[in-house]
Chains A and B, each alone.
Chain A
Amino acid sequence: MDWLDVRGFVEWSTDGVTQATIGQTRFWEYKDVVSTVLTEATMGGVVFGLIMGTVLMIIWIERKLIARLMDRRGAMTSMRSLWAGESGLDAGEWWRKVPYGIGSIIGRVIRLLQRIIGNSSKKPTVDRVNDRSYLGWPILPGMFQNVADGVKLLQKEWMVPKSADRMMFEAAPIIIISSTVVILGLIPLGPGIYGPDLQYGVLFAMAVFGVAPLGIFFAAWASNNKYALIGGIRSAAQLTAYEIPLLLVVLSVCILSGSFNFREIVQDQIDAHTWNIFIMPVGFLLFITTMVAEVERTPFDMPEAEAELVEGWWTEYGGLRWGLLFAVEYLRTYAACILTALFFLGGWQAPFAGLIAATPGIGEQLAFIYGLIPGVAWVLIKAWFVFTIFVWVRAALPRVRTDQILEFGWQWLLPLAVLNVLIAGMMRLFLYEPLTDGWFTWNIIPTMLLGSIPFLILIAYTSEEGEDATRPEPILVTDLSHNALATKAKQLDGADTV
């Protein structure tokens, strides 16, 4: 429990509120119910608000990282935008205006960077930066571009195609958005920041995660558009391939921790002095892969494959509806990243805490300062780190086909997930007690890492079938006359094909 105990504060204040409102009335016998409802509603709002507030960061990471990965010149420009400011005024100037000279050191560093890596003629560079990414915010340029995009979408026409099933067309985004919002309220973000603490929260969250594809299918069917229909059917077909391995991996995490509760899963990792990623590396890879498929990002974004299906199941959606669906896509991705952080990366446990405390001389002081970082910061940082992997994958890989993901899901993901459940069960049965002991984890981690190598090799070397032993020699054609080509074709085919 760190100092940022929002839940404790909310409980304390709702007690006060309950006391003040129904304190002297005949409703006092319901005080537990009232204060619980108030607490859970407030905490749900706090968690949801935190996630909504930081989802801009996710889109910002995607935008900046993709720019860096995809285009080097653009990468330099966008990197320069970190220290180049408004026209005629670089970001160093802005930092110098911070009161009491607090920002002057940063300002000097920025000016130094500007001199070394910046452009000698400031104006064109800055103007180029301003085109897209700079909106007058010198610390995270481009952060609020999404707000501008949202306002733009807000102004667009609320359009429903004439031949669409109007009710389902309107209802589908509501199903998708509301199911996502429910997950966001359930996820704990820190030791003191969590909403309704359900005993079977993981099961409930996973079940709700699976509702959105239903909404997608409704949207596809109601649009009355061929592209949308194919996209929706692809989404439904793909569902079976990744949902089962995903749930099995989550199940193995729960088996290992002995709980279906998010907080207990994290607490188990903290008690065991190790994170689940080190105990189940294969499970981590499986979880990441299936989550990419679950949130429909490249390489598993066949439902919205823009090369052949224009925009897939949301072809007919426009304006703010499209904007909301787009935002929900990122929210789902964000939820997936946070779940990865909770299940596999130790949740709100600070990494390297022991290492910092062991610094000779000033270790205690450093550890105290390090301990001041609230747990919620670690959860979000870990989630952002996981998201960079998602972005990296998107930049590096082409899209697979529907039949290929089915094959991949059933042939590789499912057996590995079952194996992962077995591993988790064995460890729970035989190794659970020692796990709580500090020393044993240092034996189990190398064992599990070594043990998973054969499986990783197995994944890397997929079955290479007898690769074309007999490739015919190229046919040399030098005579240009039509008859010669026709003769050649006849020789090859044995029939008159011309």
Chain B
Amino acid sequence: MWITMGPQHPMTHGLWTLRVKVDGEIVTDSEPELGFIHRGVEKICESRDFTQITPYCDRLCYVSANTWAQAYVYAAEDLLEVEVPERAEYIRLIAVEIQRIASHLMWLGAYTPDVGNLTVFLYCWRDREMFVDLLQELGGSRLHYNFPRIGGVKRDLPIGFAQRARAKINIFFDRLREYERMLDESTIFLIRTQDIGCTKAEDLIAHGVSGPNLRAGGVNYDIRQANPYSVYEELDWEPAVESPSIKGGDSYDRYRVRMEEMRQSANMVLEALDKIPGGAETHHAPDDPAILAKAPLRAPEGASSMHRFEDSRGEAAFHIIGGGEQRGKYPYRISIRSPMFITIPYVTKVLIGHKIADIPAIFGSFDPCIGETDR
């Protein structure tokens, strides 16, 4: 019996369809149907100049907007050969890591209703609010910040930001422990998430899965460490990796990786606030050269750039080809590598052999985001 879950279904976390073939409660086959919210971002970007593209990249994933804008900006800076001031890099790192915490909180909040508990969902939304408030101080809006600029950031850290960020992160550490007490010590949560959706390291690598899902499978591959871009090398941190059992990383491992990443990102923000050049409490004008470098408007003919970026969900990459004189200040072509577009077909394979009740427990643990998948 084929069951069509979606495009409007509680399991989907977005607008897409999962078709599963079931034998009783056992899933014997499944296939995804994507493309319900294809906006043609790549094509739109061909008729926008380099600075106008940033807000479109914000909208690639509404849960993790800042990381996507940041991924684009790094690629554009590679293309236009811009040197970014160090203070701006620190501010970017702070913004990206706060966004990563907010995104993972959203994931945890969406995942626990998948296994049947609504309480953690509301707790997570409450705590995400703190980080959304911080990002609002930086970018001005609450969902699509349009914060990074080619050559720097929109504006400096506002007055008192460091103090507020430290206070909120200290609260957040307590809250994380609270979630762990609530979920890790709950036998029902463990039996619902352990030993399901097992992913072996070789399969993950072969299918191109990246990010927390890959690290949960026991592969220590974090682009922030393997191909450091920003100032990640100057901070003291280690990627969060799980040692899964012989069957491979299960849903519980993926949950653990994301919890560890949240803790680690919070530590990174604290450390970056201490190490930021010029001091966390000094303030610059918006066009100060310490946070904004002058960027050229046109890319040279035939130039291309590719930048890998550790998004909240995996490896985001932008490939930009400059247009030269003919195309004016527009790029010739932009190609986006979305981690979830690559992961979702793999997950439909993982589902086979599990029960219907495990479908949300497996799919939710991979953190699908359809905005970036359909682009």
Contacts and interface: CB of A to CB of B under 8 A. Distances in A.
B308 interface: yes
Contacts of A450: none
A402 B186 CA distance: 18
Interface stretch (B55-63, B92-100, B340-348, B353-361): B353-361
Contacts of A476: 220-221
Contact of A307 (B3, B116, B201, B220): B116
Contact of B187 (A462, A474, A479, A492): A462
Contacts of B117: 298, 396-399
Interface in A459-485: 462, 468, 470-480, 485
Nearest to A227: B3
B288 interface: no
A395 B113 CA distance: 11
B167 interface: no
Which interface class (under 10, 10 to 19, 20 to 34, 35 or more) fits B? Answer: 35 or more
A226 interface: yes
Nearest to B112: A398
A272 to B, nearest CB: 35
Interface residues of A, number: 51
A493 B248 CA distance: 13
Contacts of B187: 462
B113 A473 contact: no
A128 interface: no
A399 B115 contact: yes
Contacts of B186: 396-398
Contact of B246 (A298, A302, A470, A497): A470
Which one of A70, A308, A397, A478 has the greatest number of beta carbons of chain B within 10 Å?
Answer: A308
Nearest to B125: A71
Contact of B192 (A70, A401, A489): A401
Contact of B219 (A227, A230, A471, A474): A474
Contacts of A307: 10-11, 113-116, 360
B119 A396 contact: yes
Given A70-B119, A471-B245, A489-B205, A306 B10 contact: yes
Contacts of B308: 480
Given A72-B126, A402-B25, A498-B206, A397 B188 contact: yes
Q: Which 7 A-B pairs have the closest CB atoms?
A: A399-B116, A492-B202, A477-B221, A497-B206, A493-B202, A398-B117, A307-B360
Interface of A: 69-74, 226-227, 230, 234, 298-299, 301-302, 305-310, 395-404, 462, 468, 470-480, 485-486, 488-489, 492-493, 497-498
8 contacts: A70-B123, A72-B126, A226-B1, A398-B116, A400-B191, A470-B246, A476-B221, A477-B226
Given A396-B186, A403-B355, A474-B243, 13 more contacts: A226-B1, A230-B22, A234-B25, A308-B356, A308-B357, A398-B117, A468-B246, A472-B218, A474-B218, A477-B205, A477-B226, A485-B205, A486-B206
Interface of B: 1, 3, 5, 9-11, 22, 25, 112-119, 122-123, 126, 182, 186-189, 191-192, 200-203, 205-206, 215, 218-221, 223, 225-227, 241-246, 308, 355-360
